[in-house]
Chain A
């Protein structure tokens, strides 16, 4: 185990997921979570795909950094949640394209990615975005069996 705040972050998520095994399908060939902390240690980057027991998926990609108090923050992130057919349900990201929204640059997209035209963004429906917060939101949807949002 490598030392440091970024590897602590990795192990925190790893432990969190270990406690969620009931709703995850870790044996699925598309399930991906870094096997050890070396990638996060060297690159401060984390990427993967969590497959849930109902066949839905959470794809995530995160570039990490430190805030002024030297806490690990998700500087740039993408969390895309898709139903078992691969249609997007939700997407949280902080790309700087929606300065009109409160909470900019953090925002959420809902529903399928439009084939043409702009992908409308909305203000966040969770207090803050990070791995645990998004996972918890998705977990709620999986448990309700309500992944088809309008």
Chain B
């Protein structure tokens, strides 16, 4: 698997962890094309119930991803702004609001992250970082 070269002077530890989680590829950490450390996220083993939940979430995931691409906004941010009345009510937004709430609640109940859903369903994450 091809990795990604990351300039260690331009990334914090938190950013590195996030990048490793999202990319699912090795990160070569070093300077000027000379890798010193390889960082790779290890995927958590999902239990059968979690796998069933993810399969059931596939339609909801496609739906919220469609909204995110159309409106160029992350669902979590949308949800917060919508609940705070910072966005106007519209049938589309109501649908996004309900779908994301069901998606986020399901993740929480099954102790899953969005990234795990994306990996299992074989989709690349929305945000890949710089």
* Residue A7 interfacial (CB < 8 Å): no
Number of interface residues of B (CB under 8 A): 24
- Which residue of B is nearest A98, CB measured? B89
State how many residues of chain A have any CB contact under 8 Å with chain B: 29
Instruction: Tell me whether A78 and B91 are in contact (CB under 8 A).
Output: yes
| B77, CB-defined interface residue at 8 Å | no
> Which segment of A37-45, A49-57, A123-131, A138-146 sits at the interface?
A37-45
**Contact: B98 with A77, CB < 8 Å?**
yes
B98 near A42: Cβ-Cβ < 8 Å: no
Q: Is A119 an interface residue (CB 8 A)?
A: yes
Q: Interface of chain A, helix or strand or loop or mixed?
A: strand
Taking CB atoms, residues of chain B closer than 8 Å to A121 are 89
Chain B residues whose C-beta falls within 8 Å of the C-beta of A47 in the assembled complex: 99
A43 to B59, CA, bound (A): 11
- Using known A-B contacts A42-B52, A97-B89, determine if residue A78 contacts B95 with beta carbons closer than 8 Å: yes
Q: Quick one: which of A69-118 are within 8 Å of B by CB? A: 75-78, 80, 88, 91, 93, 95-98, 113, 118
**Residues of B with C-beta under 8 A to A119:** 89-90
Residues of chain B whose beta carbon lies under 8 Å from any beta carbon of chain A: 52-53, 56-57, 59-60, 82-83, 85, 88-91, 93-95, 97-99, 101-103, 105-106
